[in-house]
Amino acid sequence: MAETLTITSLGHEGDGIAETASGQKVFVPFTLPGEVVTADIDGERGHLVSIITPSPDRIAPACRHFTVCGGCSLQHWAPEKYQAWKRELVVHAFAQRGIETEVNPVIPVAPHSRRRAVFTLSRTEQGVVLGFNKRESHDILAIEECPLLVPEIETRRDKLAALADRLMDRGKRARMTVVSTDTGLDVSLEGARKPGRADYEALGRAAVDGSISRLTVDGAEIFMSRVPEIRNDPIVLYPSAGGFLQATASSELAMADLVDAAIGKSGGPVLDLFSGIGTFTLKLARRFPVLAVEGETKLLQALDRSMRFSTGIRAVTTRRRDLFLNPMAPVELKEFKAVVFDPPRAGAKAQAETLAKSIVPKIVGVSCNPATLARDARILIDGGYKLTSVTPVDQFLWSGHVEVVATFELARKSASKGRPVRLS
């Protein structure tokens, strides 16, 4: 039987929070603060039945698949309130670590700006289904639209499914990562069967119209009509097949500008930890020598190519190193004028602990997880660093995820004197 509830707030995943008549906390998706709703209660989950009193901030969702697709949770909220909530997620994450700080307004991103998509595919009697998982389900929703994606990906769903059709057996599932580059789509398929000679010939015909620059299947390159490039003159990035890339170009630019401004005129050299394909490395290298440290070989290979084809940059040295198991030690850090770290969602606890013992004048932390960034910030603050700014970037539109850039300056006194560092 449905129960009437009043939504008091939103949780960190975007679900409405209410309290039942018995005092139990429940989470009700697709609701907003202040709304009176009816919902079927199943443990801590409430399944929305009807909205009795809608919020004045409720708007029409941008996508026909909203509430069914598992990708978005907040298309129904007015942008101003939605962005304020995302800012509060960051405020709360830092407050939980005892850090009271001013958090800047969220830097927004526009719809149809997501340049990287990860599709799930399955082969049925009717053919290949390409889409995203349904909400709280392993079933695949065959999408007809996605207002997150850039048109170059959204309008080529049928072509992408046709590529997979050649290599998928009935009842099997696969994953396809698609990146929109300036030279075409970079497509990486994982979980399909191994291509034969006839498959190579058939799949190669997909390159004729130039819309797909590269196709990779389980790490093996099937064809490359043009090298995938992301151009930001004079810098060129070369994404690795299926590898990590910032989800939108505008958020990448915003974060790179924040990092660049934070380092300012501090001089070099600069250390870029968890450098990836060089999102921050190459922009910083226009002004300073940079040491880029990354654990994944294929990302460093992509960065190496970018270094060779970008112009107007200074010396960049790369180093492969697992920073989770073997973080840069204080003695290795002492010659750098600034450090940037951009780890995966788990954060950089071990590296933050060594940074906290260092004498690096400026540190910039970038993270897609405010909770782990706040933890790492607490470590740096306790080690004698001052948190100078926190800026959220809404890279993951209509979701409960947010990117954050935090900047730090060494506050404790040190008598150490730096010496020139060799980047080799």
- Residues 362-371: tens digit of each pLDDT: 999 999 999 9
Domains 1-56 and 116-230 share a fold: yes
d(CA 344, CA 349) in angstroms, rounded, equals 11
Name the residue among 400, 398, 401 with its Cα closest to residue 75.
Answer: 398
Q: Which CATH number fits domain 84-109+248-410: 3.90.45.10, 3.30.413.10, 3.10.450.40, 3.40.50.150?
A: 3.40.50.150
**Other C-beta atoms within 10 Å of 299: how many?**
23
pLDDT-derived band at 207 (thresholds 50, 70, 90) equals confident
d(CA 342, CA 277) in angstroms, rounded, equals 12
Where exactly are the structural domains of the chain?
1-56, 84-109+248-410, 116-230
Establish whether 368 is a catalytic residue.
yes
342 annotated to a ligand binding site: yes
Name the residue among 249, 233, 274, 292 with its Cα closest to residue 393.
Answer: 249
Mean pLDDT in the chain? 93
Average pLDDT over residues 320-329: 98
**Structure letter (DSSP) for residue 223:** E
Q: Which of 69, 72, 146, 368 is catalytic?
A: 368
Kindly report the pTM of this predicted structure: 0.92
pLDDT-derived band at 170 (thresholds 50, 70, 90) equals confident
Residue 380 has phi, psi (to 5 degrees) of -65, -40
**CATH code, 1-56:** 2.40.50.140
d(CA 117, CA 180) in angstroms, rounded, equals 9
Tell me what pLDDT residue 414 has: 56
Sheet with 270-273, edge to edge strand ranges: 316-320, 290-294, 270-273, 338-341, 362-367, 403-410, 385-393
Average pLDDT over residues 214-234: 91
Annotation: CATH topology of 116-230: OB fold (Dihydrolipoamide Acetyltransferase, E2P) (2.40.50)
Residue 412: pLDDT over 80? no
CB 166 within 8 A of CB 121: no
Residue 420: pLDDT over 70? no
> In sequence order, what are the beta bridge partners of 122?
129, 173
pLDDT-derived band at 154 (thresholds 50, 70, 90) equals very high
252 annotated to a ligand binding site: no
- Residues 27-69: tens digit of each pLDDT: 999 999 999 999 999 999 999 999 999 999 999 999 999 999 9
Share of the chain above pLDDT 90, in %: 82
Placement of tokens 């974060």 in the chain: 255
